[in-house]
Structure 1
């Protein structure tokens, strides 16, 4: 519970210190005196994001500090936990729109404070009944009535649902990966077979190209040598240079007769030519045959052609890049062949998870139906106490075709009367009726689901007379489960409080002061009649205050 509240430069308040006693505290005051400034201060304490207009005009900083009686705050580390039962929270806001949050004197991010306050402190304005119109809130309200057992089922349902969703996502990711690999390595199987047959090294392309040039050069040289040899020797169609030389020697002999010098020169020329022919033949005999050279040329051209085809398939420019592609492609193609079995195993798991999700969704719905009947009974009992005897809450649970993390049903709170069939609470025009339904729901909820501190800001709007008194009595009863700070204009409700503060305004400054018993009589009289001078109003106020003791 909140024991102390200190406010500085927030709204119309320059400084205020409130020390709370009891569980039901009323804060009253005429319209425009600054009660909303206290609400803003409590909102800051609850972790709401600060706004510049929260700060008192002309001031550079504002501050709110609250001292709570508490034992343990979930989700907080040890250094932020209460010490000797006291938990101190502080907010500082500036005219630049910045703010700082403190817990136990330590600076903390705002979301840490807000998260810690989620189940510790709740501010309920006159518009909070609009929360009833949200189907998600109605589902959460129903589930909170189910207590720990239903929460355990709900958490288990959420966990198994998200496991199924995650498994389905993984399967889709695998299919997408398969598609990407198939597109990226289109033709990779052919490439892998080609590369296995080629078995290239990083230098193979250069070596093969160099060898191919040498083979072509060798073929060209051999063709030239054979052509020269044919010129020298002649062939079947024509005589060669050797035959011509022999013929010339014979003609010279015929023309000149026996001429030793000519005969010797002719003989030397013929012997030299025959030696040249012999040496050319020896050279040709030592080199590879034309058939072998042509075969090797074809072999090298085929290898280079296949290698270049591989580079085109892989879309690379070097053998090194091709080798890297080959290694990756082989690995990825191997994964492709294995992934189908992996996907099949995952599909079997997914089908089992889906069956489990459906089964747990049915179990959760069955529990909700049972709890809904119990909540209806509890709320309707409180509605009678709140003067709504003709109204009955019914909770409609409609099955959905699609399962969600929180189940497979839509929960709708319905109200039926003696004169009408059930209609959703969203169709109820009266804010006063919605306020009482919300209060009846709060009364029905287990104590552990309620916040430690409930700040109620003018929820009696739209109520009056007996209805307001009944709401006050229920709030008094609710204060046995949690501390209630009530900002109200309704005298009958304020009279039931354990402690009473009044907000007044002098000039532009608001003041907050705890009222004594006599001052409470005067304040209640003012709230009843607009002035504390009327004797009948004072007597009525005394009677109302006397109800506290009954």
Structure 2
């Protein structure tokens, strides 16, 4: 329920504070006075698109703030809390500022929130019926939604359950379609992977073989250079190869003898002598190893060719699959797993098919239950709406709800709902989409809302706003519309923008928008002031005695009614 609305610099309204209450509130005033601006302010709080053109001329920004009363456990309160806002004593404070230049800012419970969150909160608090809502009543989708709204909580849970199952079914269908469309690509991938694995198994490379081959090729390709280097080193180290005593081993031995003589007088030279003896052992070992290396070093052109051919073969084989020979083994392990996944008996496509069929069966069962429930709801709702239409000066009208079964499901089930109107006992039934007038649509919408009111609303917690509900009607019909709005207001807060005195006379509270010198203000009227406003609406002359008498009579009649 809207408790209070504050408006600053919105269109022709420089500043206004509106206090609302439970029951029926009507908003009246001359055409062009600014009633639309009041609705625009509420629309901004409900997350509607901000338009800088709404900012009052000469001002930097407009601001709107609303205080809403809701149960602390309501979805609206939960949405505010989830967004980080605060809800105290059931009060939800929403605010919106729109600068002349720049982006608008939204606030909920004292916290800055996205406009989408503001919309979600507002949808739980307020339902707006205007010309666009009446036009949407012509669509099958909106008619289906209204029929489901007539159901209990268990019915709405069934609708939600079906929608979730439908989305799962559709997602699996898309997966299967994608899988089937990629059959050729999968076959090509299996072929590529199998070829790489088969080549690996044929060549059977050993771990580290590439490095071993590289070293072998390097050695066999440079045998003469290696022999010369080893021979020279061996000559310098080996005392058996030189007769002049200048080889490394002889020189080190001579140095050891010299140091040992000096060591008799200084222990330090003895330590140096020991170090040289160790070096001499190392020199002798290396000399022996170079001799062995020379003995084993032989040119082998055939072995060199085999090694080069093997290396080239391996590199040509692994390069389409890996960076080097060792990582080819890792690639092959993963390739075998992928081949099994793509071509094995329990492949993904078969599993998706099984899941799809399982979900389809579950969806059809839920869809059957939903169709059956909607037929029951349709029979009940059409009786109630038809009764309300008789009270809205359409005594011969018949209201029909047809539930047809679709061949393919939608997110809402297997059903297509069509609302129909019969204007006379023998007249044909016309769907609302085929040409119901604005006045007929207004009355049908009102009849539906009154029928729904006692089903799903906690008293006084929700707000209905009706704009142009009086389109195309007048006289006794207008009185009946006002009466129905008053009845709806016993279960919810109802705010109506109207030009009809027959509707305004039913109000529990009347707010009048007036404008002077491009400045609009909103004031509550009661007593004599309200009588004058009703008189103005009746005749255009607020001070006309006959209009005043008629106004008093009309107000009194509605109070009794």
The alignment's TM-score, normalised by the length of structure 2, stands at 0.78
Q: Who is 2:60 aligned against?
A: 60
C-alpha distance in structure 2 between counterparts of 1:547 and 1:377, whole Å:
28
1:430 Cα deviation from its structure 2 partner:
1.7
Deviations 1:174-232 (A, max 9, x none): 557775454345343343233124332465346557768999999xxxxxxxxxxxxxx
Q: 1:111 to 1:322 in 2, by over 3 A?
A: same
Q: Who is 1:121 aligned against?
A: 126
| Structure 2 residue runs without a partner (length 5+) | 224-295
Q: Which has the larger radius of gyration?
A: 1
Q: Who is 1:537 aligned against?
A: 547
Q: 1:397 to 1:511 in 2, by over 3 A?
A: same
Question: Match of 1:96, SS?
Answer: coil
C-alpha distance in structure 2 between counterparts of 1:172 and 1:356, whole Å:
20
C-alpha distance in structure 1 between counterparts of 2:7 and 2:122, whole Å:
19
Give yes or no for contact 1:192–1:326 (8 Å, CA) kept in 2. Answer: yes
2:449 pairs with 1:439? no
Q: Who is 2:556 aligned against?
A: 546
The farther-off stretch of 522-531 and 404-413 is 404-413
C-alpha distance in structure 2 between counterparts of 1:181 and 1:322, whole Å:
21
Q: Who is 1:83 aligned against?
A: 88
Q: Who is 1:357 aligned against?
A: 363
Matches within 5 A, 1:119-198: 119-172=124-177, 180=185, 182-184=187-189, 186-198=191-203
Q: Who is 2:413 aligned against?
A: 407
Q: Who is 1:95 aligned against?
A: 100
Give yes or no for contact 1:396–1:411 (8 Å, CA) kept in 2. Answer: yes
C-alpha distance in structure 2 between counterparts of 1:217 and 1:81, whole Å:
84
Q: 1:190 to 1:87 in 2, by over 3 A?
A: closer
Give yes or no for contact 2:25–2:496 (8 Å, CA) kept in 1. Answer: yes
Q: 1:138 to 1:46 in 2, by over 3 A?
A: same
1:477 Cα deviation from its structure 2 partner:
0.6
Q: Who is 1:32 aligned against?
A: 32
Q: 1:200 aligns with which of 205, 208, 231?
A: 205
Q: How many residues align?
A: 479
C-alpha distance in structure 2 between counterparts of 1:446 and 1:503, whole Å:
29
Matches within 5 A, 1:326-345: 326-338=332-344, 340-345=346-351
C-alpha distance in structure 2 between counterparts of 1:439 and 1:62, whole Å:
33
Question: Match of 2:450, SS?
Answer: helix
Give yes or no for contact 1:161–1:357 (8 Å, CA) kept in 2. Answer: yes
Deviations 1:438-492 (A, max 9, x none): 1111111144646711121232021111111111111111111111111111011
The alignment's TM-score, normalised by the length of structure 1, stands at 0.79
2:488 pairs with 1:478? yes
Question: Match of 2:507, SS?
Answer: coil
Q: 1:521 to 1:183 in 2, by over 3 A?
A: same
Matches within 5 A, 1:341-490: 341-417=347-423, 418-447=425-454, 449=456, 452-490=462-500
Q: 1:21 to 1:328 in 2, by over 3 A?
A: closer
Give yes or no for contact 1:124–1:457 (8 Å, CA) kept in 2. Answer: yes
Give yes or no for contact 2:80–2:108 (8 Å, CA) kept in 1. Answer: no
| Structure 1 residue runs without a partner (length 5+) | 219-285
1:106 Cα deviation from its structure 2 partner:
2.2
Q: 1:13 to 1:341 in 2, by over 3 A?
A: closer
Give yes or no for contact 1:383–1:389 (8 Å, CA) kept in 2. Answer: yes
Question: Match of 1:396, SS?
Answer: strand
Question: Match of 1:82, SS?
Answer: coil
Give yes or no for contact 1:126–1:461 (8 Å, CA) kept in 2. Answer: no
Q: Who is 1:227 aligned against?
A: none
Q: 1:330 to 1:500 in 2, by over 3 A?
A: same
1:131 Cα deviation from its structure 2 partner:
1.4
Q: State the superposition RMSD in angstroms.
A: 3.0
C-alpha distance in structure 2 between counterparts of 1:84 and 1:191, whole Å:
71
C-alpha distance in structure 1 between counterparts of 2:536 and 2:446, whole Å:
27
C-alpha distance in structure 1 between counterparts of 2:386 and 2:144, whole Å:
18
Q: 1:287 to 1:476 in 2, by over 3 A?
A: closer
C-alpha distance in structure 1 between counterparts of 2:152 and 2:93, whole Å:
29
C-alpha distance in structure 2 between counterparts of 1:426 and 1:59, whole Å:
44
Give yes or no for contact 1:50–1:97 (8 Å, CA) kept in 2. Answer: no
Q: 1:310 aligns with which of 293, 296, 317?
A: 317
C-alpha distance in structure 1 between counterparts of 2:22 and 2:159, whole Å:
36
Q: Who is 2:510 aligned against?
A: 500
Deviations 1:90-129 (A, max 9, x none): 2222111422222232222222121011121122224421
C-alpha distance in structure 1 between counterparts of 2:495 and 2:184, whole Å:
62
C-alpha distance in structure 1 between counterparts of 2:187 and 2:329, whole Å:
19
Q: 1:167 to 1:212 in 2, by over 3 A?
A: same
